[in-house]
Amino acid sequence: MQCLANKRILLGITGGVAAYKSAELVRRLQDQGAEVRVVMTRGSQQFITPLTLQALSGHPVSTDLLDPAAEAAMGHIELARWAELVLVAPATADFMARLAHGHAGDLLTTLCLATDARVMLAPAMNQAMWSNPATQRNQEVLRGQGVALLGPAVGLQACGDNGPGRMLEVPELVDGVCRAFPEPVLNGKRVMITAGPTREALDPVRYLSNHSSGKMGFALAEAASHAGAEVVLVSGPTSLPCPAGVTRIDVESAQSMLEAVHQRVIDCDLFIACAAVADYRPATVQEHKIKKSVDTDDDALQLTLVRNPDIVASVAALKQRPFVVGFAAETRDVLSYAADKRMRKGLDLIVANDVSDTEIGFNSDDNAVTVLGENLEQSFAQVSKQSLSHSLITLFAQQLDAKTTK
**In this structure, are residues 48 and 23 in contact, taking their beta carbons and an 8 Å threshold?**
yes
CA-CA-CA-CA torsion sign (21, 26, 31, 32): positive
Does residue 215 touch ligand PMT according to CB under 6 A? yes
Neighbours of 71 (CB within 10 A): 16
Closest CA to 187 of 378, 9, 402, 401: 401
Phi-psi region of 393 (alpha: psi -120 to 50; beta: other; left: phi over 0): alpha
Does residue 273 touch ligand PMT according to CB under 6 A? yes
Does residue 90 touch ligand PMT according to CB under 6 A? no
**The binder of ligand PMT chosen from 108, 232, 312, 388 (CB under 6 A):** 312
**The binder of ligand PMT chosen from 18, 91, 122, 216 (CB under 6 A):** 216
- Tell me the C-alpha distance between 279 and 198, whole Å: 10
* Amino acid in the structure at residue 133: P
Does residue 236 touch ligand PMT according to CB under 6 A? no
Does residue 253 touch ligand PMT according to CB under 6 A? no
**The binder of ligand PMT chosen from 91, 111, 120, 277 (CB under 6 A):** 277
Closest CA to 106 of 40, 7, 202: 40
Residues 180-199 that bind ligand PMT (CB under 6 A): 194, 196
Does residue 334 touch ligand PMT according to CB under 6 A? no
Does residue 372 touch ligand PMT according to CB under 6 A? no
E strands of 157-229, at which residues?
A: 162-166, 190-195, 200-203, 206-208
Does residue 308 touch ligand PMT according to CB under 6 A? yes
- Tell me the C-alpha distance between 163 and 123, whole Å: 13
**The binder of ligand PMT chosen from 213, 225, 370, 389 (CB under 6 A):** 213
Total residues in contact with ligand PMT, by rule CB under 6 A: 29
Neighbours of 267 (CB within 10 A): 11
Q: Which range binds ligand PMT by CB under 6 A, 8-16, 37-45, 305-313, 372-380?
A: 305-313
Dihedral, 136, 141, 147, 148 alpha carbons, nearest 10: 30
Does residue 399 touch ligand PMT according to CB under 6 A? no
Smallest gap, in angstroms, from Cβ of residue 388 to ligand PMT? 10
Strands 118-123 and 153-156: unpaired
**The binder of ligand PMT chosen from 61, 275, 334, 339 (CB under 6 A):** 275
Does residue 282 touch ligand PMT according to CB under 6 A? no
Closest CA to 197 of 388, 363, 370: 363
Q: Which range binds ligand PMT by CB under 6 A, 16-24, 38-46, 213-221, 296-304?
A: 213-221
Does residue 221 touch ligand PMT according to CB under 6 A? no
Does residue 67 touch ligand PMT according to CB under 6 A? no
* Amino acid in the structure at residue 211: H
Does residue 383 touch ligand PMT according to CB under 6 A? no
**The binder of ligand PMT chosen from 355, 371, 397, 400 (CB under 6 A):** 355
Q: Which range binds ligand PMT by CB under 6 A, 59-67, 158-166, 220-228, 308-316?
A: 308-316
Does residue 328 touch ligand PMT according to CB under 6 A? yes
Which residues are marked as active site?
Answer: 159
CA-CA-CA-CA torsion sign (325, 326, 331, 336): negative
Does residue 326 touch ligand PMT according to CB under 6 A? yes
**In this structure, are residues 165 and 130 in contact, taking their beta carbons and an 8 Å threshold?**
yes
Quick one: 45 or 210, whose CB is closer to ligand PMT?
210
Residues 6 or more apart whose CB falls under 8 angstroms from that of 320 comprise 266
**The binder of ligand PMT chosen from 32, 110, 139, 353 (CB under 6 A):** 353
DSSP class per residue in 135-160: HHHHHHHHHHTT-EE--PEEEE-TTS
Q: Which range binds ligand PMT by CB under 6 A, 114-122, 209-217, 289-297, 394-402?
A: 209-217
Strands 8-13 and 376-384: unpaired
* Amino acid in the structure at residue 322: P
- Tell me the C-alpha distance between 367 and 384, whole Å: 6
Does residue 360 touch ligand PMT according to CB under 6 A? no
Smallest gap, in angstroms, from Cβ of residue 355 to ligand PMT? 5
Does residue 14 touch ligand PMT according to CB under 6 A? no
Residues near ligand PMT (CB under 6 A): 194, 196, 212-217, 254, 273-277, 279, 308, 310-312, 326-329, 341, 353, 355, 361-363
